[in-house]
Amino acid sequence: MSTQSLVSAQTSLAEQSPAHKVECYVQEHLKRYLHELSDLCAIDSGTAYKAGVDEVALYLAGRMRGLDMDVNLFENEKWGNDVYGVLKGTGKGIIVLLGHMDTVYPIGTAAARPLRVENNKIYGPGVIDMKGCILSAIYALEALQSINYHDFAEIRFLCVSDEEISDRHSKEIIRQVCNGCHAALVLEAARENGDLVSARKGGAWYKLRAYGHSAHAGVEPEKGSNAILELAHQVVKLQALNGWREGLTINTGRIHGGTATNVVPDFAEAFIDIRFARTEDRVALEQHWNELLQQHLIPGVELSIEIDPDDRDPMACTPENLHMARRAQEIAQELGFEVRHAPTGGISDANYASGFGYPALDGLGPVGGLDHSPDEYMELDSVAPRTALLAGLIASIGTRAE
């Protein structure tokens, strides 16, 4: 290569954006990424398996320390430990990265289904939900460091241990970590079609209980008050409210009651999932639902409702969220691909960050799908560009935040 060509190549590299440089870095280190991902997916880390989640936390803590992050473990007696790293920079923006280490799979799944690559797909338990996504963020930070990029005030990287369940201990930790941030970037996978997530519905969970009076079903059924029958009527009335407000969905997911077929049941219970695009729609539904519950159909049956404390506010597509999504689209175009953003009815820790009042964007991991199934996968050729997109967004927020 001539001196002029060499200078031209060096100039071209120097003029590349941070996102371009990160993409090149990840492509060059993709084999190492896959090796690390294989190690992570070889660890059973179902939410209830504390030892496995703690092992993942220690692994990530070591990787974070290798990036010169100040690392803390939030220790728990019952659940896995949460890991939190802070990287200081010289710029303006405070950026939060949110991930989770727990999976839904039982002990033994990791050994039964080791990581494998077939064509363009990487298969394994937790590969996309979300060990591969957390590792992608690690590589984004590693690549930014490799080009001496520090134009941010702080990057706060939190990986929690309890995202897959409703009995959450980490909500207040997330609140503390988000305090004063300019943006929360949530590392759930991009949708199967590659979309980012700019809005999520809120969610609330209820137990509807019916208390009746038992009696012999053959000898004197008239002396009983059938709790199952009353609950069935109430569930049908509630389900009819699907779509009562735009985006409102209601699902009765579990129901049980009674003791024996020859006994009029004195108890029944239903578990109900409600999703809503706006908090005011939930409030209106609850008011209307309470009115319906006053209309008992079976004499002698009483009803009660218990609300799960881990409800979630919607992640609305605020102007700030929309601005981040559009900036992500610009970065993707710079990298040579197109990306869209869309709302979803699913819930993530982005709901917490948004509910606390901070701008949030989700779906910033690689592309994949079929979460929680034996066919869970990640698209291999999405790792480098999506890691670069995340890094580009970090750089953009870090530089431009006011």
What whole-number distance in Å separates Cα of residue 368 and Cα of residue 249? Answer: 25
Q: How many other β-carbons are positioned within 10 Å of the β-carbon of residue 148?
A: 7
Tokens 């038992």 map to which residue? 214
Beta bridge partners of 287: none
Selected catalytic residue, list 23, 36, 102, 313: 102
Are the C-beta atoms of 188 and 98 separated by less than 8 Å?
no
Note if 102 is an active site residue. yes
Annotated active-site residue in 163, 311, 349, 379: 163
Strand-pair partners of 96: 156, 184
Give dist(CA 343, CA 204) in Å, integer.
18
3-state SS track over the chain: CCHHHHHHHHHHHHHCCHHHHHHHHHHHCHHHHHHHHHHHHCCCCECCCHHHHHHHHHHHHHHHHHCCCEEEEECCCCCCCEEEEEEECCCCCEEEEEEECCECCCCCHHHHCCCEEECCEEECCCHHHHHHHHHHHHHHHHHHHHCCCCCCCEEEEEEECCCCCCCCCCHHHHHHHHCCCCEEEECCCECCCCCEEEEECEEEEEEEEEECECCECCCCHHHCECHHHHHHHHHHHHHCCCCCCCCCEEEEEEEEECCCCCECCCEEEEEEEEEECCHHHHHHHHHHHHHHHCCCCCCCCEEEEEECCCCECCECCCHHHHHHHHHHHHHHHHHCCCCCEEEECCCCHHHHHHHCCCCEEECCCCEEECCCCCCCEEEHHHHHHHHHHHHHHHHHHHHHCC
Q: Are 331 and 18 in contact (CB under 8 A)?
A: no
**Catalytic sites, residue numbers:** 102, 163
